Structure 1
Amino acid sequence: MDYGAHADGKTDDSNAISNAWEGMCGEEEPATLLIPPNKIFLVKRLNLNGPCKAPNVHIKVSHVNGLTVDGDGGIIDGNGSTWWEKCITCRRPTSLVFQSCNGLTVKSLSMSNSPEAHIAVNGCDGALFSHININSPPKSPNTDGFDIAHSKYIVIQDSTLATGDDCIAINGGSSFINATRLLCKGGHGISIGSLGRNKSYETVEEVHVQNCSFIGTTNGARIKTWPGGSGYARKITFEDIMLQDVQNSIIIDQGFNGTSASEKAINLNCSPSGCFNITLDQIYIVSSKSSQLAYAFCKNIANGTIGSTVPKVSCI
């Protein structure tokens, strides 16, 4: 608005947004481009190009329906190393935030070295992310690829996610999340949660992870909950999964096949109230170290079914 946008849905605001980008891009300090809520911008196709003088560029998009972001092979570099070294405990920025954006499409975008999470999806209904390439060091703190919360009908596909934390973190209030044809490298795998922090009530359901590979991750499939919280994580499927040198795996459903970097290949560590309706089938996981035998660990499993599973699971 500072650059002359009318935001009436009738006047072409393309130049105002382009000029705002150039103004932000030319700043010597970290800068943010804010597209404000409760406005209607009529724009033509815009190319927001770099390089930028600003050492950190933050784009915040909220309450925009039918938005398409096409990276066209471009790269967003968050220069996160300056944050990781000097700001361990403070709140670091997320590179790209989508808030209450329905019918969203993001494609052909590369990102690296975000100060914290690379992409946050909050309160969105319907989003497709495809051909997203994220590349941050394995030890970079809290650099999730995707953080999803209070959103539904989100699809992430055909992407490579190399992070220092979760490839995808699916948090409370989320449902109908689909992840397919993904490569997760380093980091902590795909996680449900954590849920129930500070004794809160949180729910996640209808999560489907299919045809994904995990290489050198701490975990493959993971559900994280805090003691004292309430709610549920249900109707979650991990299917057609390949593991290579994965340290820990919490297996929720069928189709796992690969090698484990630790002998505890299947770890079902449930609360005293137990885990219900767990199905393990078509699983074959062996240790990547010839001198070790992979095994399954179980605690407080209430009920479930076992099909073809290696290592053997005797607790269900």
Structure 2
Amino acid sequence: MLTRSFFAPLLVLLLLSVSNANSVQDTGCSLKSSTQKIVFVLDNYGARGDGKHDDTQALARAWNAACSSSRPAVLLVPKGKTYLLKAITLSGPCKSNIVFKVKGSLIAPSSMSAWSENDRRRWIFLQRVTGLTVNGGGTINGNGEMWWKNSCKTNKVLPCKEAPTALSFHLCNSLKVDNLKIVNSQQMHVSVQDCSNVHLARLTITAPGTSPNTDGIHITHSKYVQVRDCLIRTGDDCVSIENGTHNLHVTRVVCGPGHGISIGSLGDHESRAEVSRIYIDTVRLYGTTNGARIKTWQGGSGYAKDIVFQNMIMDNVQNPIIIDQNYCDSAKPCTKNQKSAVEVRNVVFKNIRGTTISRDAINLSCSKDLPCSGIALENIDLNLEGGKGGTESTCQNARWKKFGNVVPLPCKGKK
């Protein structure tokens, strides 16, 4: 039988090896065993981390080193420091998986002149990377106040121009983004485009409620995406779901202020849009403009189908349930009375309750030429904020069915 004295030295050696491994990761030494990740510390590539000097090229060098590693790599942004970054593109493919661990802060320049007129849409842009993880509990700060002041939605006399998205992912597969704070983006905070197998979790996304076009999470042309356990407070959609999105699950999200959870807008400029298998579950909305929303332009084509909004609590929401096939953005001209439309079908609104500041709590405004079909309303209880009277509903060209108790009565009893 092996005695306790046999195990004691072995335990000491094991503890020492774990301690040494942790200390190596903290210092950024790249000498690792074959089973450990190689750590590339941003400071070792010329970054100052004082929030004043430009650390863009240092991050580019650190990324290139990590991306070239034949072993799994960690690109570490140290805690307690702030790194000033201009627009940067971090590209793959990489030789192995990368963890981009942001423990400190990444901050954008305050001046709009740091961006060229030719490319104002991006700040931190990651593309063509497989097996990427971005985490660490740090902060990504878009420093967007100057952009908001110069937006055409804030100042109507200014021309409408693009503004940067804080954190963009393009053509990334097996992507994980977890435990980050993304604040004050110039425009959208997180964009996922042309990606597959994506997990976004434990993100805190904040900007003033008056900041224009600052969507929290924007998803387009992507499939098999999961969003969970996020707190989103912005001036636009908390989650915007655009063309080409399929198999999206959003769960345990708190939203507000902002414009709510929106599918669309779809079909602008007479384009074709395809969105399907969208599941929005367990969401709480505070003081948002909209709750569960689908919006499409006249003149578009394609479909938005097989959509579920369920287990939602509305608190002081202006438009809790809305389908709008006649959507129009005030910043763009609208062509009225077109016969084509994006088809909206098989949509479930289930277990939705709370309060609204609008008497019209359910609004189904659908196309005369292509009515919404397969709309199910089940166990809905929406009341005016402060008990100021009963709520109502409005329907145009919507084919719906009612299940369980629904307040307000759908469409005043008309189908």
**Normalization by structure 1: what TM-score?**
0.88
Task: Say which of 347, 357, 362 aligns to 1:261.
Answer: 357
The residue number in structure 2 matching 1:33 is 88
Contact 2:382 2:408 in 1 (8 A): yes
Is 1:278 aligned to 2:400, yes or no? no
Q: Report the Cα distance in structure 2 between the residues aligned to 1:37 and 1:206, rounded to whole angstroms.
A: 30
The letter for the 1-side match of 2:136 is: G
How far is 1:250 from its partner? 2.2
Q: CA RMSD in A?
A: 2.7
Q: Aligned pair in 2 of structure 1 residues 285, 276: CA closer, same or farther (>3 Å)?
A: same
Query: What is the aligned partner in structure 2 of residue 227 from structure 1?
Result: 298
Is contact 2:105-2:139 (8 Å) kept? no
Residue 47 of structure 1 and its aligned partner are, at CA, apart by 5.5
Question: 1:25·1:54 contact (CA, 8 Å) conserved in 2?
Answer: no
Q: Which residue of 2 aligns with 1:248?
A: 319
Query: Within the alignment, does 1:69 sit opposite 2:128 as a pair?
Result: no
Does residue 290 of structure 1 match 2:387? yes
Q: Which has the larger radius of gyration?
A: 2
- Alignment of 1:60 onto 2:60: no
Once the 2 structures are TM-superposed, how far is the Cα of residue 102 of structure 1 from its aligned partner?
Answer: 0.8
The amino acid that maps onto 2:202 is H
Shift in CA distance, 75/7, structure 1 to aligned 2, threshold 3 Å: closer
Cα deviation for residue 59 of structure 1 reads 1.7
1:18, distance to aligned residue in structure 2 (A): 7.2
What amino acid is aligned across from residue 90 of structure 2 in structure 1?
A: I
Structure 2 stretches of 5 or more lacking a match?
1-56, 112-121, 153-159, 323-347
Q: CA deviation at 1:305?
A: 3.9
Partner of 2:414: 315
Would the aligned equivalents of 2:142 and 2:183 in 1 still touch at CA under 8 Å? yes
Q: C-alpha distance in 2, partners of 1:258/1:32?
A: 42
Structure 1 stretches lacking a partner, 5+ long: none
How far apart, CA to CA, are the structure 2 residues paired with 1:42 and 1:175? Answer: 25
Contact 1:277 1:305 in 2 (8 A): no
Give the CA deviation at 1:135. 1.0
- 1:95-134 mapped onto 2 (5 Å cutoff): 95-134=166-205
Aligned to 1:78: 142
SS in 1 for 2:373: coil
TM-aligned CA deviation for residue 212 of structure 1: 0.6
Residues 134/307 of structure 1: CA separation in 2 closer, same or farther (3 Å cut) = same
Structure 2 match to 1:162: 233
Contact 1:212–1:242, Cα closer than 8 Å, also in 2: yes
Cα distance in structure 1, aligned partners of 2:185 and 2:223: 24
- Aligned mates of 1:127, 1:69 — CA distance in 2: 12
Higher-RCO chain (CA-CA 8 Å, sequence separation at least 6): 1
| DSSP 3-state at the match of 2:146 | helix
Query: For the residues of structure 2 that align with 1:315 and 1:94, how far apart are their CA atoms?
Result: 44
Does residue 153 (structure 1) correspond to residue 249 (structure 2)? The answer is no
Q: What is the 5 A alignment of 1:17-32?
A: 25=83, 31-32=86-87
Residues in 1 aligned to 2:318 and 2:102: alpha-carbon distance in whole angstroms: 43
Q: What are the within-5 Å matches in structure 2 for residues 37-52 of structure 1?
A: 37-38=92-93, 40=95, 49-50=104-105
Change (3 A) 1:42 1:280: closer
Distance 2:219 2:108 in 1: 30
Shift of 1:7: 8.1
Could you say which structure has the higher helix fraction? 2
User: Aligned residue pairs: how many?
Assistant: 307
Change (3 A) 1:170 1:6: same
Deviations 1:276-300 (A, max 9, x none): 0010011100100433321111111
Contact 2:276–2:305 (CA<8 Å) still a contact in 1?
Answer: yes
**How far apart are residue 35 of structure 1 and its match?**
1.4
- 8 Å CA contact retained: 2:376, 2:400: no
Helix, strand or coil: the match of 1:82? helix
Alpha-carbon distance change, 39 to 65 in structure 1, aligned in 2, over 3 angstroms: closer
Deviates more, 1:126-135 or 1:50-59: 50-59
